[in-house]
Amino acid sequence: MTIALWVKATEGLTGEHLVSARFEALKIGLSIVAGSGGLIALYLAYRRQRSTEETLVHQQSVSNAAEADATERRITELYTAAVEQIGSERASVRFGGLYALERLAQNHENQRQTIVNVICAYLRMPYTPPFESDLTDADATPEADRESSLREREVRIAAQRILRTNMLVSENQASSSNTWKDIDLDLTGATLIDFDMSDTEMRTANFNSATFVGNALFDRVKFASTANFSCAEFKQYARFLEAVFEGAAYFDSAHISGNAWFPYSSFYQIAHFHDAAFDEDALFESAHFMQPTLFSSAQFHGDAWFDSSKFEEDVWFRRSRFAKEASFPEVIFKRRAFFDRVEFVHDATFSAALFSNLARFNRSVFSGQSLFFNVTFAGQLYTKDAIFNGPVDPPQALESRGRIEADFTDKESSSEEP
């Protein structure tokens, strides 16, 4: 290239001009050659750098994969060891296994539901709590069995405490990454002792046929999906103060031996208390039911208070029995209210209640005083074959406009329960 430039650039020149031109052509040619060599060197350096980077990326990928595998193996080892511990015959070892699982869940978010499942499975294992008489009567239960039962009781309480502590969503913990969120609890048939899940949030909650020994506290709990307490046995009181049921709530055939408190609770989906038994007082004051609600065949053995509650959709109390006071003052029934064949053994209060749609008391029996002061029947009122053994105050309350004593069987098919 240099020679070609030399010849071309000096063509037709002579003397000093020829020498000068050839010298300049030589410098230019050498510069081009040097420049080309630099580009080649630069390209080769780039290739070497890129190869080095690709090698490093590959090495990092291999290292990350190896680290992930090692972490998974470590998690599996810790998990297996903890599960083996909670299966031990020694209570102290079971304690250790539970707390090992808790630490594992705190450090590995993706393992939390699995670990909760293990804890729930442990609580679902058969267990007979020691009775108070066993603690004082030496002949009631062998000493070894009594001690074993007491130790197991403490282990179970620890397992319950682990669930609540990590699922708390108080103001200070609402945004914490350490809170176990979107957790499903399956405690079907479990025996639970002084169970307290107040101020927690869970997704699905299955307590079907569970036995609550001692008090059961669910104050301000948020059930994000279905909450199933069907056939549950509450040995003492059950409290659901300000509880939020975002999914369906099932308390069918539940038995609550102590007071049942549901004040200021919100039911966003269907609420079923069909055939439920309330041995003591049942408090539903200011509760809000936004979908069809079922209290049919429920047994209220104590006072039942529904003061200021609101039913946005149809509600059924058909065939239910109120053994003591039935209180419905200032209740808002926005849709149909069915009180067919209800037995009011003592006083029934509906003062200032609002029935915006159909109200039906067909074949109901009022044995005590019936209070209907300032009640509003905006829709049709049915009292076919209702029996009032006690006084109705005011006497003209059920003679307001819209009262209909139509044939009972004609309307039965239009009020099927959900």
Q: Give the model's pLDDT for residue 88.
A: 85
pLDDT at 15 over 50: yes
pLDDT tens digits for range 170-198: 665 555 668 899 999 999 999 999 999 99
pLDDT tens digits for range 146-172: 888 899 999 999 999 999 999 999 665
| CA–CA dist 232, 189 (Å, integer) | 8
Mean pLDDT, residues 239-245:
98
Mean pLDDT, residues 368-379:
94
Please, are residues 284 and 262 in contact by the beta-carbon 8 Å criterion? yes
pLDDT at 41 over 90: no
Please, are residues 330 and 308 in contact by the beta-carbon 8 Å criterion? yes
pTM of the entire predicted model = 0.79
Q: Name 116's Cβ contacts closer than 8 Å, sequence gap at least 6.
A: 105, 163, 180, 183, 184, 185
Residue 201's closest CA among 186, 179, 217, 216? 179
Q: Which residue has the tokens 């308390």?
A: 251
pLDDT at 404 over 50: no
Helices (H) and strands (E) in the chain, counts: 7, 39
- Model confidence band, residue 86 (pLDDT cutoffs 50, 70, 90): confident
Q: Give the model's pLDDT for residue 273.
A: 98
pLDDT tens digits for range 273-318: 999 999 999 999 999 999 999 999 999 999 999 999 999 999 999 9
Which letter does DSSP use for residue 280 in this model? S
DSSP for 120-183 reads HHHHHS---PPPHHHHH-TTTS-HHHHHHHHHHHHHHHHHHHHHHHHHB--TTTTT-TTS--S-
Work out the mean pLDDT of the chain and round it to a whole number: 85
pLDDT at 67 over 90: no
